[in-house]
Amino acid sequence: MDELVERFLAGDRRALARIISRVESESGEGRECLRQLYPHSGKAHIIGITGGAGAGKSTLTGALAAEYRRRGKTLGIVAVDPSSPFTHGAILGDRIRMQELTLDPGVYMRSMAGRGALGGLAPTIDDVVAVMDAFGFDYVIIETVGAGQDEVEIAGLALTTILVNNPGTGDDIQALKAGIIEIADILVVNKADHPGADVLVSQLQALLSLAPAGARRPPILKTTALKAEGLAELADAIGEHGAYLAQSGELERRRADDARQQVLSIARQILLERIRAATSEEELAELVLRVAARKLDPHSAAEQLAGNVLR
Amino acid sequence: MTAPTSAKIRVLIAKPGLDGHDRGAKVVARALRDGGCEVIYTGIRQTPEMIAEAALQEDVDVVGLSILSGAHLELFPRIVDEMKKRGLTDVLLFCGGIIPEEDTKALEGLGFAAIFRPGTNTQDIVKFVYEHVKK
């Protein structure tokens, strides 16, 4: 077994940090580490925290982590911030809101750049979360990039997805729209000390009352993360959701769905890489030119490329 | 310009000590971002332990320290010490801020590969990082 993996399994945090880097760089050695560690994962409760930019996700993540530490639980935190679409660089600033956790031996926090992935996540986040899970944390919290209306991918990764809302950010029609609100297992109204919090809570309640009979209604909780208010209730609600998942059989179903998505997505990636490797730059350039000139449609062009590796 | 994925240079920009002026640190962070690095910025008033621990958890290739208070010869040895304790001996170190010329030798002795003083062109810092980190 890899020496780094041995140190990881013995609880060495530096080995954890190193393995995450290997996995994040999509290297062969990263994949080998993951292969060895994967059987150790699947025990942590994975929590996703999403919501708009400035909604208080980082502060809420820090405050929730502190609540779990009071309860004697250990945590891994992954916080994603966006990459520049032009230079591909990034400023990762989520640690600023979680300072007091830095020296806590029961918490490991990692910043990740989005690297152009959709859904407010990062390309290798599934693997990074699996590595943290395998390290043996009780909880892994994923904080997404500031998400708007349509970033629903977090629900395929987290067991409990928390959507963070703020008072004063739109009327009830916003909440009526499809998309991100549908994936929330728990709705949080953060900055609840601001005017309009109660109005937002009743708007969300009214919205949820329109859901089909028999469907689970996500609880709506008020928090003021900056003052550490409402966190015990939030941690309790996450626990209740976990129990609901286990009892209803939803847990098994979600795990199977998520595994299916992940396997298909990786297979798609492998095929794309094979096609790229089997296609010369000239062939690609020529096809692209014909599509741009409207002499060939994009579907036929893609069929031709795929034909290079599939028969 | 680098590829969107693949291995990226990860840099921790940290401000030890009690001075609260982080404009310089932010300018450097921004320049490195624009140079294609992934920059972790942890904010002001970091203790030596916090900086070393953040460097470990984030597995950075580079740590850049910004200081204006004059306490560099007090704080930097403690930071290097905390990093050594955690096995972080292969991390590139640089610093910047108000640092008198006569302290250069002492800082080089601690392992700082460069000192950037007021008036530095930020592109020189980006170039320095790319020249010293192999990825």
A93-127 burial: b if 16+ Cβ within 10 Å, else e: bbbebbbebbebeebbbbbbbbbebebbbbbbbbb
Residues from B in contact with A at Cβ < 8 Å: 1-8, 10, 29-30, 32-43, 49-50, 53-54, 56-59, 86-88
State the nearest Cα–Cα gap between B95 and chain A, in angstroms.
18
Residue A129, φ and ψ in degrees, nearest 5: -65, -40
State the nearest Cα–Cα gap between B111 and chain A, in angstroms.
21
Within-domain flag for A117: yes
| pLDDT value at residue A173 | 56
Domain match, A182 and A284 both: no
Within-domain flag for A73: yes
| pLDDT value at residue A177 | 59
Domain match, A139 and A273 both: no
Domain match, A218 and A101 both: yes
Per-residue pLDDT reduced to its tens digit, A222-278: 999 999 999 999 999 999 999 999 999 999 999 999 899 889 989 988 999 999 999
Whether A40 contacts chain B with CB within 8 A: no
Domain match, A277 and A182 both: no
Domain match, A204 and A297 both: no
| pLDDT value at residue B2 | 44
Higher pLDDT, A55 or A299: A299
Domain match, A212 and A98 both: yes
Residue of A nearest to B31 (CA): A89
Homologous superfamily, domain B10-132: Cobalamin-binding domain (3.40.50.280)
| pLDDT value at residue A166 | 87
Domain that holds residue A180: 41-247
Higher pLDDT, B16 or A210: B16
| pLDDT value at residue B1 | 38
| pLDDT value at residue A176 | 53
| Highest mean pLDDT: which range of A27-31, A149-153, B67-71, B124-128 | B124-128
Angle A309-B2-B6 from CA coordinates, rounded to 5°: 55
Within-domain flag for A137: yes
Percentage of chain B with pLDDT > 70? 96
Per-residue pLDDT reduced to its tens digit, B3-21: 445 678 999 999 998 888 8
Within-domain flag for A163: yes
Q: Is the pLDDT of residue A284 over 90?
A: yes
Percentage of chain A with pLDDT > 70? 95
| pLDDT value at residue B35 | 95
Amino acid letter, B107: L
| pLDDT value at residue A215 | 80
**Cβ distance of B57 and A109 shorter than 8 Å:** yes
Domain match, A214 and A285 both: no
Within-domain flag for A136: yes
Q: Which of A20, A89, A123 sits opposite B34 (nearest CB)?
A: A89
Could you say which of A247, A268, A298 is where a domain stops?
A247
State the DSSP string of A51-107: ESTTSSHHHHHHHHHHHHHHTT--EEEEEEEPPPTTT--EEE-GGGGGGGGTT-TTE
Whether A157 contacts chain B with CB within 8 A: no
| Interface list for A 79-118 with B (CB within 8 A) | 83-84, 86-93, 95-96, 99, 102-103, 108-111, 113, 115-116
Domain match, A182 and A275 both: no
Domain match, A269 and A242 both: no
Domain match, A56 and A95 both: yes
Q: Is the pLDDT of residue A148 over 90?
A: no
